[in-house]
Structure formats: C-alpha cells, structure tokens
Amino acid sequence: MQLIMVLGIAIAIAAVIFSLQNNAPVVVTLAGWTFEGSLALVLLIALGLGALIAGLLSSPAVIGGRWSTGRLRKRVAELERQLAEERQRVRDLDADVMRLSPADVRAVPEKPYVGLRALIEQAEPDADVSGKSPGGERH
C-alpha cells in the first residue's frame, strides 16, 4: 500500500513538472464542446479524470474485499468460540471419566514394552517332563 502511494506521488510530481514545462496554449474539442487553455491545465485535468475513473473502477473490488474480510473474521471468531466450547466439553468429559473410573484402574501403572523375543522366551518351557524333544523324539 505504501509503495503504491509513493509511486502515485512520484507520477503526480512528474506530471506537474511536465505540465509546467509545456504551458503552450492548446484547443481541446470534444463532441462539439471546445476548450482553450494551457497544455499544463489540460494535462492536469486529464490526469485527475484518469485517477477518478481508476478509483471508481477499483472501488467495487475494494468494497467487496472488505465485506468478505469482515465476514471471514466473524466466521473465524465463531469457530474459535466453538473450539473453546469443545475443549471445555472434552475437559469436562475427562473429569467425568476420572471420577467414574474405579480407583484401581487409575492407579495401575503402564507396563513397559518387553518386545517379541522376550515374550517368546518366556513361553518356551525350561524342561519337558515327558523327556521328548520338541521334534517328538525321546532322549
């Protein structure tokens, strides 16, 4: 936005300097209407009309963008409010679960991960009572 403003001011200054250096009288005719004045005045009027037309043509987009931005900000505020309500609901439900759970469930520590190999080694018998090897043969 600031860059556009600086650029606009630079163009305006260049137009004024150009107009002051070209102050010869000119005649402008438009649809039967005739105007005689200095070239500087005609150029400044043309520059002003161009800026006015550009502003009028861009104003619907600017107004639409502001309206859309305002609507989206309201939607964000509504969604943030809903998020806060849902977070509060989750906290309340967690508190209810903790309150309704038996005391021993809450106090049970988590078992550490032992791994598959340790589980298999625990499942293998140390000595076979029948004297048979795992292949079914007798010793």
Judge if pTM exceeds 0.85.
Answer: no
pLDDT digits (tens, 9 = 90+) for 43-96: 778 888 998 999 899 888 888 888 999 999 999 999 999 999 999 999 999 888
Q: How many CA atoms does the CB half-sphere of 14 hold within 13 Å?
A: 6
Write down how long the chain is.
139
C-alpha 112 chain-centroid distance? 42
Torsion angle of the four alpha carbons 45, 47, 50, 52, in this order, in degrees rounded to the nearest 10: -70
Residue with tokens 């043509």: 57
| pLDDT score for 79 | 94
Contacts of 34 (CB under 8 A, 6+ apart): 27, 28
pLDDT digits (tens, 9 = 90+) for 2-32: 888 899 899 888 877 877 787 788 888 888 8
Q: How many CA atoms does the CB half-sphere of 37 hold within 13 Å?
A: 13
| Domain range annotation of the chain | 2-104
Pick left, alpha or beta for residue 38 (phi over 0 → left; psi -120 to 50 → alpha; otherwise beta). beta
